[in-house]
Amino acid sequence: MAKLAQGAKYRGSIHDFPNFDPSQDAETLYNAMKGFGGDKEAILELITSRSNRQRQEICQNYKSLYGKDLIADLKYELTGKFERLIVGLMRPPAYSDAKEIKDAISGVGTDEKCLIEILASRTNEQIHQLVAAYKDAYERDLEADIIGDTSGHFQKMLVVLLQGTREEDDVVSEDLVQQDVQDLYEAGELKWGTDEAQFIYILGNRSKQHLRLVFDEYLKTTGKPIEASIRGELSGDFEKLMLSVVKCIRSTPEYFSERLFKAMKGLGTRDNTLIRIMVSRSELDMLDIREIFRTKYEKSLYSMIKNDTSGEYKKTLLKLCGGDDDAAGKFFPEAAQVAYQMWELSAVARVEMKGTVHPAGDFNPDADAKALRKAMKGLGTDEDTIIDIITHRSNAQRQQIRQTFKSHFGRDLMADLKSELSGDLARLILGLMMPPAHYDAKQLKKAMEGAGTDEKALIEILATRTNAEIRAINEAYKEDYHRSLEDALSSDTSGHFKRILISLATGNREEGGEDRDRAREDAQEIADTSSGDKSSLETRFMMILCTRSYQHLRRVFQEFVKMTNYDVEHTIKKEMSGDVRDVFVAIVQSVKNKPLFFADKLYKSMKGAGTEEKTLTRIMVSRSEIDLLNIRREFIEKYDKSLHQAIEGDTSGHFLKALLALCGGKD
């Protein structure tokens, strides 16, 4: 097993086998490879139940007993992905890494992703062992081979990482943190061109503890995360390498959970990546990777491997995974806190919310009104002018344009736009022209009109708006439809779902800070899922989730994790169903990280066949002046492509142009 730091708990999924007998194991493997076909089940069962140290002893005993090389025999006996996986497990970790890097730089082309993954994630000690293993196995110098196969700043950063000289002191100088923040800011955001050497020096040499503080201070100082600056200032493989370094500094298990998810999502499986990670992390941090994977992707690593692979290859991977977290539905006690910290660190209170649409400088409502009138006069419509004006003015400025348009021309701008535009573009432009509360009121009205109810729209709006926004929506609804919002909700919904929506629609959520004692009491109240019936549980959740302040609820969720080793979101999904489950989950996700909640909604509106244009429009309109910039950052962080790219690939024409103008950047 891997050597542990003093006081650290073992977080691997593979353990030393008790009563280990290397000679007996060598004989078992020899017999399993005798005859036609071989006993693959016996091979995988034995190898996945021994630690790497024990496998090395088996190799030595195999050679002593039979005069043959065990790895050579396994290669001969097995084939394909299963062979690569088993042989990978048989090599010492440093030699396995060395083989991966040798393969990545051999032949035509370079597997940059493999180089990045290994060199960005390994500790100083692992790097030193890798360099020595490469020299021993191939009689070549690893640094010289990487220099020969890469170039530019990408090459320079790889060479820095290959030195294995990252500082390891946990004592951090606040002055040096501030200096590094300033140096990074001046090297990127404040400089014409980028001083890549500063990024390389600081990110390649400072300790993890130091850099985490640098990242926190960078966000406070510049208003944007370090990842956003890297994406804006760097490019290509160098950008990917630096982003991977940052991810590993923040959380190496989270980095690998993301790599594993991407290796299996979509059509086809990136088996080389899957094998490499499952082999290399099985005795280091697989339990943490599993936990973060389930928290982040709402499914267990075990279930995704099970659904994405087959045969002995699948069985071996599942053995390395070590367990199905969906089956138990529980967090590991140690990793529960890791899971909580993942979203607590990005809590809304720590990040300034920023929209993408701002008041236009030198605003001239008279000129805008005339330009819009001209764009709609005569044959044809100048959609480009309409889009350009309306998407580059704040909502308050649009209201001034409406008033000026009526004063000048005696016409209703909204009516003219409605007659000139059509389809998705008309819905988007008309939505932008409405005051926010009236727009939300209209969306709620539409969600309750006709046959059937759009529960998703009701939940999205009522679960995410502030008290002030909810109160304004109530006034707008009454003004526009001569009926209270509460009456409308009562008529169109029922049961606990109705009660929850009406509670949210009062706009009476507390607005104070956290109360730790009360948070513990609240957590206890909803943690006791065994007492009372389902109706009683839903009532208890409603009383807390619909009335407590966001800041207080974050503390409740943390106390809930401490008490139960469950995430409150997973408990809701397990204990509840239907619309009640969906609205509670939406509240929890909004409390944890509202921009991420909307990023998920946007992604789901555009993935797969067809686009949910109404959801896409509603979010782009309603968040454009509030937090769309933050949503963009969460989107690219989670889905590895920008919101701009997603919109570009899923919409077209003038609707596309207007959405991209609201999006406000390519990231």
Both tokens of 646, joined, read 């997603």
pLDDT at 531: 63
pLDDT at 655: 97
pLDDT confidence band for 332 (50 / 70 / 90): low
Both tokens of 150, joined, read 């890469």
**CA dist., res. 268 & res. 249, Å (int):** 30
pLDDT at 349: 40
Is the pLDDT at 299 greater than 70? The verdict is yes
Is the pLDDT at 256 greater than 80? The verdict is yes
Mean pLDDT within 494-508: 96
Is the pLDDT at 5 greater than 50? The verdict is yes
Specify the range with the lowest mean pLDDT, choosing from 78-82, 264-268, 276-280, 401-405: 264-268
pLDDT at 583: 97
Question: Is the CB of residue 504 less than 8 Å from the CB of residue 462?
Answer: yes
Q: Extract the runs of DSSP E, i.e. beta strands, from 323-446.
A: none
Is the pLDDT at 326 greater than 90? The verdict is no
pTM: 0.72
pLDDT at 459: 97
Q: What is the 3-state secondary structure (H, E, C) of 26-71?
A: HHHHHHHCCCCCCCHHHHHHHHHCCCHHHHHHHHHHHHHHHCCCHH
State pLDDT tens for residues 103-118: 999 877 789 999 999 9
pLDDT at 424: 96
Is the pLDDT at 328 greater than 50? The verdict is no
Taking CA atoms, 120 is separated from 105, 131, 462, 616, in Å, by 16, 14, 43, 36
**φ and ψ at 522, to 5 degrees?**
-65, -45
**φ and ψ at 386, to 5 degrees?**
-60, -50
N-to-C CA span, the chain:
42
Question: Is the CB of residue 432 less than 8 Å from the CB of residue 621?
Answer: yes
Both tokens of 49, joined, read 């139940």
pLDDT confidence band for 350 (50 / 70 / 90): low
Is the pLDDT at 325 greater than 90? The verdict is no
Mean pLDDT within 459-479: 97
**CA dist., res. 3 & res. 325, Å (int):** 26
Nearest partner of 616 among 586, 648, 578, 581, judged by Cα: 648
**CA dist., res. 276 & res. 646, Å (int):** 30
Burial of 422 (0-12, 13-18, 19+ CB in 10 A): exposed
Mean pLDDT within 527-536: 76
pLDDT at 52: 97
Is the pLDDT at 6 greater than 80? The verdict is no
**CA dist., res. 547 & res. 394, Å (int):** 32
Is the pLDDT at 128 greater than 60? The verdict is yes
| Angle at 657 (CA atoms; ends 654, 660), nearest 5 degrees | 150
Residue 639's identity, in one-letter code, is Y
Is the pLDDT at 171 greater than 90? The verdict is no
Note the helical H segments in 282-331.
286-297, 301-308, 311-321, 325-328
pLDDT at 477: 98
Both tokens of 268, joined, read 């086809």
pLDDT confidence band for 347 (50 / 70 / 90): very low
Nearest partner of 481 among 432, 431, 434, 445, judged by Cα: 445
Nearest partner of 640 among 265, 140, 102, judged by Cα: 265
| Angle at 609 (CA atoms; ends 603, 614), nearest 5 degrees | 55
Residue with tokens 């580059």: 392
Both tokens of 406, joined, read 């009526």
pLDDT confidence band for 570 (50 / 70 / 90): confident
Is the pLDDT at 351 greater than 70? The verdict is no
Nearest partner of 294 among 323, 252, 263, 251, judged by Cα: 323
Specify the range with the lowest mean pLDDT, choosing from 60-64, 111-115, 171-175, 453-457: 171-175
Both tokens of 77, joined, read 């006996």
Both tokens of 101, joined, read 């890097």
**CA dist., res. 141 & res. 587, Å (int):** 55
Question: Is the CB of residue 229 less than 8 Å from the CB of residue 243?
Answer: no
Residue 550's identity, in one-letter code, is Y
Q: Give 548's DSSP letter.
A: S
> What is the b/e burial string over 225-242, where b = at least 16 CB atoms within 10 angstroms of the residue's CB?
bbbbbbbbbbeebbbbbb
pLDDT at 268: 77
Q: What mean pLDDT is reported for the chain?
A: 91
Specify the range with the lowest mean pLDDT, choosing from 400-414, 424-438, 512-526: 512-526
Burial of 378 (0-12, 13-18, 19+ CB in 10 A): exposed
**CA dist., res. 141 & res. 295, Å (int):** 41
Is the pLDDT at 238 greater than 60? The verdict is yes
**CA dist., res. 264 & res. 308, Å (int):** 7
State pLDDT tens for residues 201-223: 999 999 999 999 999 999 889 88
Is the pLDDT at 607 greater than 90? The verdict is no
Question: Is the CB of residue 318 less than 8 Å from the CB of residue 304?
Answer: no
State pLDDT tens for residues 83-99: 999 999 999 999 999 99
**CA dist., res. 587 & res. 504, Å (int):** 10
pLDDT at 346: 43
Share of the chain above pLDDT 70, in %: 93
**φ and ψ at 483, to 5 degrees?**
-160, 145
Taking CA atoms, 19 is separated from 24, 25, 292, in Å, by 11, 11, 33
pLDDT at 4: 59
Question: Is the CB of residue 78 less than 8 Å from the CB of residue 70?
Answer: no
What's the number of CA atoms in the CB half-sphere (13 Å) around residue 270?
Answer: 16
